[in-house]
A and B are shown apart, each in its own frame.
Chain A
């Protein structure tokens, strides 16, 4: 079946602009994560959605970052007033239900802020 998809695959923007990154999880997966990965670095947790529960936003680095998950499926990560330090690969992942289910990653969106 289809895996996790993300769009766009690459995004170049100018400092100060807003960007939206999209994630389509595997159908039926109730858990969805966003991570940020800077070049050569680890997986920085941003936000976790689990079913209809309030999302865990503890990883969002500033109030310029927000995310929504509509209808329990598609998620959008929005970065307002982008800064150069926001440049990174943004990875989305989903798993079926609980943490003990395999987490599948999307291909990522490479964001470059000029």
Chain B
């Protein structure tokens, strides 16, 4: 079955810096790669996703890149703000197989 690894487990940046979180997956059949943000005490919510037919997707300060050959994908947050502080989860899946989540990255943005 699918296995997703996520790094780093914690990431501290200064406000305005960029943050990058990386994930690798094992199943070459996976074709969908979402990213979820979980604020303290809240439920995880989808912030961006990418499908295997594209290599990059952007939404304002957030971007995701996918390298299918290497089986890894990354979340990039530019011009970080304190409200970006949260736990971020990557995931991978395809079809009727279950979506598999990474172990999470705790991002702390200091003012």
Q: Please indicate the chain B residues that have their CB under 8 angstroms from the CB of A95 in the complex.
A: 99
Asked if A33 and B98 sit within 8 Å, CB to CB, the answer is yes
- Chain A facing B: main interface SS: loop
Most buried by B among A42, A45, A106: A42
| Closest beta carbon of chain B to A57's beta carbon, Å | 11
On chain B, the number of residues with a Cβ less than 8 Å from chain A's Cβ atoms is 25
Q: Say yes or no: is B15 at the interface (Cβ < 8 Å to chain A).
A: no
Q: Say yes or no: is B103 at the interface (Cβ < 8 Å to chain A).
A: yes
Q: Please indicate the chain A residues that have their CB under 8 angstroms from the CB of B95 in the complex.
A: 98-100
On chain A, the number of residues with a Cβ less than 8 Å from chain B's Cβ atoms is 22
Asked if A43 and B104 sit within 8 Å, CB to CB, the answer is yes
Q: How far is the CA of A31 from the CA of B34 in the complex (A)?
A: 16
B30-45: which residues lie under 8 A (CB-CB) from chain A? 31-32, 34, 43-45
Q: Please indicate the chain A residues that have their CB under 8 angstroms from the CB of B103 in the complex.
A: 42
Q: List the interface of chain B (C-beta within 8 A of A).
A: 1, 31-32, 34, 43-46, 49, 51, 87, 89, 91, 93-104
What would 23 A/B residue contacts be, using CB atoms closer than 8 Å?
A41-B104, A42-B87, A42-B89, A42-B102, A43-B89, A43-B101, A43-B104, A48-B98, A50-B96, A50-B98, A53-B96, A56-B98, A58-B1, A98-B96, A99-B93, A99-B95, A99-B96, A100-B51, A102-B46, A102-B49, A103-B34, A106-B43, A107-B43
